[in-house]
Amino acid sequence: MNNFRRIIAIALTLSAITTLNAQTSDTKQIFIYAPNERAGLHIAQQTNNGWQEIGQLCSSDYGTWGQEKRMYHPSLCRAQDGTWRLVFQINDKSPMFAAAYSKDLVTWRPQDYPIMTTRQCLQPVVFPNPDGTFDIYYKTKGGDKRWTSATPDFRTFTPDRTSQISNDAWLRDTATISGHMYDGCLFDITANELTTITSHFTRQAADWQLSQERMHNDAKNPPVTRPVTATLTVTNEEKAISDKLIGIFFEDISYAADGGLYAELIQNRDFEYIPKDHRGWGATTAWSASKPVVVVAVDPLSENNPHYAVLGNDTIYNEGWDGIAVSAGAKYDFSMFVRCVTADKKQFIIQLVDEAGTPIAQAKLKTEGKDWHQYETVLTAKTTCSKARLAVIGVKDAKAGIDMVSLFPQETFMHRKNGLRKDLAETIAALHPKFIRFPGGCMSHGQGLENIYHWNHTVGPLQDRKPDFNIWGYHQTRGLGFFEYFQFCEDIGAEPLPVLAAGVPCQNSNNNRQGIGGQQGGIPMDQMPAYIQELLDMIEWANGDPATSKWAKMRADAGHPAPFNLKYIGIGNEDIIGTVFEERYEMICRAIRAKYPDIKICGTVGPFHTPSADYLEGWDFTKKHPDLQYMVDEHYYESTGWFMHHRDYYDHYDRSAAKVYLGEYAASTDAKRPNVETALAEALYLTDIERNGDVVEMTSYAPMLAKDGHHNWNPDMIYFSNTDVCPTPAYEVQRLFSVYSGDRYVKSTLKAPGIAHRIGASLVRDSKTGKKYLKLVNALPQPLTLDVNGLTIPADAKCEGFEGTPEEQTIKVKPCPLNGGSILLPPYSFRVIEL
Ligand code: AHR
């Protein structure tokens, strides 16, 4: 049938169905529409009082937050098997529309954005064909009509072509809801189908209501009004659980790496800042002088670092990151590359100056030659200063180029060269994390295809590493690169868990020059083999034999001949689990499985918990491909109420499916900072995670680090400035769960009718030492007496913990004396008892 006739036939049939629509008792009429472009897809039902809104079905997932995530002109149709297809316009400048699939209107497969040849895809409309395929028509700004056809699974779309279809294809149904008339699509569904939909919204509302509970509202609305008693009965039954439950999530967010954990004190040491890093930034950001600093790119030190400054009889200052903090008597390793330009020799004076400009450390550098050479000296601070500056003073007029101007404290963590800030690294090490996930987060998959994190740009000599902009609005030097991450893991006895992109950038990426945003269509298929090889090279670099592998030799040349013993690799981060992702993810996994069958692959199931589209599709994909991945990475940032009311989240997980890595989570309140309330909610949840340690393999609170004045995100586990490190209550909970961990869970039951969601108890055993650890949480505003049966608790057993008011942001973990069999837990308290 030609398109025109076919579409008219379909349109007439549909309109006949919807206009007849005398509702039988088993037939209900619904209207599906978008109240405005930011509100997503809504559903209303016909009642005796006219149209009544039911709720939001889904929303646009396209592109960046703020400017994008819009849904215009949604068009739906129903396939012969009763499933649904949705298309909608995403904006008026991208060569894509959105395409989605649902079985029941309630849960939706993650959206795909098929790329067309025209710059706009306006007002797409979708119609089913008798052969199970679908036709989609859209318009361009010039008024042309175009057409594409989709496979029954709505995943593959033919190249678009001109269409002569009549404008009638764009006729819309209308309905008046709460006094407003909307365009949309009318359908008849069965009463059962409508019940499924309305029950979903009822459940969602009940869940939302429960999740509103907050400890800091207890004074107004107390869950209990007098001291309570609960009983914990411990059994003899044990099960094996993961011995890697608590690890850390490291992402260069909120200045966690440059200006943070990476001990380099000079900002923009390579003169490579650009406006893409941050609006208004450039090659001389963080540098100053009495006259403009000259930056050139002739005969550079490295093609990856083309810019350098040229100095004659000038002084240039570097402000560090919010100043350079130095301590009296401490020694600092200074180095820079120099190339004499107008003479063969050049002298420099290197100083640290205090806020008044008075030198507090000084050294002389004599340089020579027209080729680049690195020069080093040591500066010893005479006084302590939290906001010193570095001065590089060129002596006499002869001009010389300077690059990679660097200053490191000699006191780095474990005295490593190019190392980590000691106080921060020690604070992290005290968590005894069983693994470190790096380098992100969103930073792994990056802002657009060009910004995907390539591990091989981050190893080798510092001047040859490839800097890039950071998705969080600043610059990445890559001085803290894969070698340094792996070394840190080894230094603190944590398994490395590198997480790299699944061939797609961040799902919230901006539109590129072609107007393609979000996952940007993924790395083009013809470039995927090279990308996959890059991932395989990383495993080879980490584990290979330097005698036979050039990648392993690089590692050896960097100072680590022995393999790093990499066991895990993460592929993807919070991606839209759409077709573009799945195709690339599967290719990557198959290649890794084929070459390195022992490496455990961790996949991703999107940014939210169940029942979000990515979570459902991600798990569906995982279960359909049990051979591909060992575990999947779940993320959820939620309120304290949510955590208190989803304590059974993992109780019903399929034990034979992939393991879970809860890679990013944190509880929050409006205070946006970790406090006793958020820490107790996390502690409660961690007792449940221990109970489910046979299915949950790893967890990591996120984000870990945030520098004062540079927060991209809240809450964070550790806040810091140039001089101070402030672990939060969230940190203490992570530390206690990690230090007192086991590999056996001892089953127990808690009897606390009506208040069990506020009480946590978990007993684990470390099979190597035989020690048992009992963790107890009382998140109630009243003291709790816990009678413990089946476990002897000596009165002198070691016990530590904390308590406070829900709002308190600072806590002290201290020894807490016990008094035998029954345990008294103060209001809002956490205890660990060693047995
Ligand atoms: O932890 C901060 C960010 O949250 C991560 O980069 C991202 O994965 C998540 O959305």
pLDDT by residue (tens digit) across 657-673? 999 999 999 999 999 99
444 C-alpha to center of ligand 1: Å?
Answer: 10
- Taking the CA of residue 442 as reference, the ligand 1 atom at the shortest distance is 6
pLDDT tens per residue across span 298-348:
999 999 999 999 999 999 999 999 999 999 999 999 999 999 999 999 999
Q: What is the DSSP string of 454-497?
A: -GGGSSSSGGGS--EEETTTEEE--SS-HHHHHHHHHHHT-EEE
Protein residue closest via CA to atom 8 of ligand 1: 441
Q: Do 590 and 519 meet the contact criterion of CB atoms below 8 Å apart?
A: no
| Annotated catalytic residue within 574, 582, 634, 697 | 574
DSSP helix/strand/coil, 636:
strand
Per-residue confidence (pLDDT) for residue 822, from 0 to 100: 77
830 C-alpha to center of ligand 1: Å?
Answer: 28
Protein residue closest via CA to atom 2 of ligand 1: 703
pLDDT tens per residue across span 465-523:
999 999 999 999 999 999 999 999 999 999 999 999 999 999 999 999 999 999 999 99
Q: 632 pLDDT exceeds 80?
A: yes
- Taking the CA of residue 249 as reference, the ligand 1 atom at the shortest distance is 1
CA distances from 103 to 32, 34, 78, 83 (A): 15, 20, 10, 5
**CA proximity to 830, closest of 775, 749, 750:** 775
Per-residue confidence (pLDDT) for residue 23, from 0 to 100: 53
Per-residue confidence (pLDDT) for residue 821, from 0 to 100: 63
Q: 427 pLDDT exceeds 70?
A: yes
- Out of 65, 254, 442, give the residue to mutate to test ligand 1, the one with the largest number of ligand atoms within 8 Å of its CB: 442
Protein residue closest via CA to atom 3 of ligand 1: 441
How remote is the C-alpha of 741 from its chain's centroid? Answer: 25
250 C-alpha to center of ligand 1: Å?
Answer: 10
Protein residue closest via CA to atom 4 of ligand 1: 441
Rounded Cα–Cα distance for residues 665 and 639 (Å)? 10
- Taking the CA of residue 713 as reference, the ligand 1 atom at the shortest distance is 2
- Taking the CA of residue 702 as reference, the ligand 1 atom at the shortest distance is 1
Is 574 a known active-site residue?
Answer: yes
- Out of 472, 713, 714, 717, give the residue to mutate to test ligand 1, the one with the largest number of ligand atoms within 8 Å of its CB: 713
Find the Cα–Cα–Cα–Cα dihedral 249, 251, 256, 257, rounded to 10°.
Answer: 120
Tokens of 566: 């990499």
Protein residue closest via CA to atom 6 of ligand 1: 441
- Taking the CA of residue 251 as reference, the ligand 1 atom at the shortest distance is 6
Strand segments, DSSP code E, in 111-261 are: 122-128, 134-139, 145-150, 161-162, 173-177, 180-190, 228-240, 248-249
* Cis amide leading into 611 (omega within 30): yes
781 C-alpha to center of ligand 1: Å?
Answer: 33
- Taking the CA of residue 574 as reference, the ligand 1 atom at the shortest distance is 8
Run of H or E residues at 531: helix 528-543
Find the Cα–Cα–Cα–Cα dihedral 111, 116, 118, 122, rounded to 10°.
Answer: -30
Strand segments, DSSP code E, in 244-318 are: 248-249, 287-288, 294-296, 308-311, 315-318
The predicted model gives 201-219 an average pLDDT of 97
Protein residue closest via CA to atom 1 of ligand 1: 703
Q: 548 pLDDT exceeds 90?
A: yes
289 C-alpha to center of ligand 1: Å?
Answer: 38
Per-residue confidence (pLDDT) for residue 475, from 0 to 100: 98
Q: 11 pLDDT exceeds 80?
A: no
540 C-alpha to center of ligand 1: Å?
Answer: 28
Confidence class for position 613, pLDDT limits 50, 70, 90: very high
- pTM (2 decimals)? 0.95
- Taking the CA of residue 712 as reference, the ligand 1 atom at the shortest distance is 2
Confidence class for position 15, pLDDT limits 50, 70, 90: very low
Protein residue closest via CA to atom 9 of ligand 1: 441
Q: How far apart are the first and last CA of the chain?
A: 78
SS3 content of the chain, % helix, strand, coil (to 5): 20, 35, 45
DSSP helix/strand/coil, 511:
coil
The predicted model gives 129-139 an average pLDDT of 98
- Taking the CA of residue 573 as reference, the ligand 1 atom at the shortest distance is 8
Q: 352 pLDDT exceeds 70?
A: yes
241 C-alpha to center of ligand 1: Å?
Answer: 27
Per-residue confidence (pLDDT) for residue 818, from 0 to 100: 87
253 C-alpha to center of ligand 1: Å?
Answer: 9
441 C-alpha to center of ligand 1: Å?
Answer: 5
pLDDT tens per residue across span 695-718:
999 999 999 999 999 999 999 999
Rounded Cα–Cα distance for residues 135 and 116 (Å)? 14
Q: 677 pLDDT exceeds 90?
A: yes
506 C-alpha to center of ligand 1: Å?
Answer: 10
How many other CB atoms are there within 10 angstroms of residue 678's CB atom?
27
Q: 10 pLDDT exceeds 70?
A: no
Rounded Cα–Cα distance for residues 226 and 219 (Å)? 13
- Taking the CA of residue 443 as reference, the ligand 1 atom at the shortest distance is 6
Run of H or E residues at 613: helix 613-624
β-sheet bridge partners, residue 88:
98
Percentage, residues of the chain above pLDDT 90: 96
- Out of 472, 499, 574, give the residue to mutate to test ligand 1, the one with the largest number of ligand atoms within 8 Å of its CB: 574
- Out of 252, 253, 509, 615, give the residue to mutate to test ligand 1, the one with the largest number of ligand atoms within 8 Å of its CB: 253
785 C-alpha to center of ligand 1: Å?
Answer: 39
Protein residue closest via CA to atom 5 of ligand 1: 441
**CA proximity to 157, closest of 136, 138, 131, 139:** 136
- Out of 251, 470, 508, 661, give the residue to mutate to test ligand 1, the one with the largest number of ligand atoms within 8 Å of its CB: 251
140 C-alpha to center of ligand 1: Å?
Answer: 36
> Which residues surround ligand 1 with Cβ inside 6 Å?
251, 253, 440-442, 573-574, 607, 664, 702-703, 713
Q: What are phi and psi of 214, to 5 degrees?
A: -135, 140
Q: Classify the C-alpha dihedral 438-440-443-444 as positive or negative.
A: positive
508 C-alpha to center of ligand 1: Å?
Answer: 11
Confidence class for position 16, pLDDT limits 50, 70, 90: very low
What does the DSSP 8-state code read for residue 203? H
Task: Spell out the residues 6+ positions from residue 794 whose beta carbon is closer than 8 angstroms to its own.
Answer: 818, 820, 835
Rounded Cα–Cα distance for residues 71 and 543 (Å)? 47
Q: 14 pLDDT exceeds 90?
A: no
pLDDT tens per residue across span 17-76:
443 344 556 899 999 999 999 999 999 999 999 999 999 999 999 999 999 999 999 999
How many other CB atoms are there within 10 angstroms of residue 632's CB atom?
24
